[in-house]
Amino acid sequence: MKELVEFIVKNLVSDPENVIVTETVNDRETVYTVKVPEEDFGKIIGRSGKIATAIRTVVRTSAKKQNKHVFVKFEK
């Protein structure tokens, strides 16, 4: 799942080397925190958060097939 998040985000930013995805596993859920440089943050969020919502939807749909609960957070 982490690879999916990295693949999507790295293809959206101008400098894929600076993308950091961390995975935190709790009892019931997995949280992926995506850190990108400030100049690429707008590319990840999109207008009105549409790109961020689309990324979350794709990841959740993929996780649902494996009966997992996944959340994606974005940070600068």
CA 23 to chain centre: 10
Domain boundaries, the chain: 2-75
pTM of the model: 0.90
Q: Tokens 């949280």 belong to which residue?
A: 31
Residue 27 pLDDT > 90: no
The answer as to CATH 2.40.50.140 being correct for domain 2-75 is: no
* pLDDT mean over 13-20: 94
Tens digits of residue pLDDT in 32-61: 999 999 999 999 999 999 999 999 999 999
Could you give the dihedral angle defined by the CA atoms of residues 66, 44, 18 and 9, in that order, rounded to the nearest 10 degrees? 30
Tell me the Cα Rg of the chain. 12
